[in-house]
Amino acid sequence: MDYIRDYAMYASVFGMFSFAWFGWAQEKPRRSWRLYLGIASGVALLVCLLGVYLSITNWNEATALNEVDSFRSYLIVFYAEFIVAGAAAFILIRRKLGDYVAPMVALIVGLHFIALAPVFGDDSLYVLAALLMAVAIVSTFVAPKLGVARSAIAGIGSGTVLFAFAVLGLIRYFTA
């Protein structure tokens, strides 16, 4: 079943988090990347706002979250992700390993999409999960070789992946 409201929300939520990741990428990138990161953030925000508009105008449409069990599962996964990521970030920062926070958050966000795929009945979320986990791993090793913060690579990678899925949400919305 096509849930156009969910697709609109994908554009909104993935666009918003793409915007946030591109912002995080600006922690310590190469100077020549800054303009492009700013542009990427702005475009992601525009996609987010279009998704918000489409979500609001289709608020009464069906959603996978209309089922009580699905909504409960969504909330459990969502809050668990925030608690685990927050605790892990706290531990990393306390151990003076703050440069690993962004890749760790990307990994946890990726893992949370594995749990959300069945909630939304959307196998594409498994692909999103795999891509975000790959970004987490790659950013850990590539960033030092490029002389940038791990957040720069994790932010660019996660921002790009989430932006692609925000656009996919729009495509699915308009073709449903």
Query: For 17-34, how does the pLDDT look when each residue is reduced to its tens digit (9 = 90+)?
Result: 999 999 999 999 999 999
Query: For 69-87, how does the pLDDT look when each residue is reduced to its tens digit (9 = 90+)?
Result: 998 999 999 999 999 999 9
pLDDT in the model for residue 49: 98
Mean pLDDT of 126-145: 98
**Angle ∠(89,15,45) on CA atoms, nearest 5:** 105
Establish how many alpha carbons lie within 13 A of residue 138's alpha carbon, considering only the half-sphere containing its beta carbon. 13
Length of the chain: 176
CA 135 to the chain's CA centroid: 11
Tell me the pTM: 0.95
Residue 94 has pLDDT above 80, yes or no: yes
pLDDT in the model for residue 1: 61
Residue 63 has pLDDT above 70, yes or no: yes
Query: For 111-124, how does the pLDDT look when each residue is reduced to its tens digit (9 = 90+)?
Result: 999 999 999 999 99
Judged by DSSP in three states, 74 sits in helix
What is the average pLDDT value for the chain, to the nearest integer? 96
d(CA 115, CA 97): 28
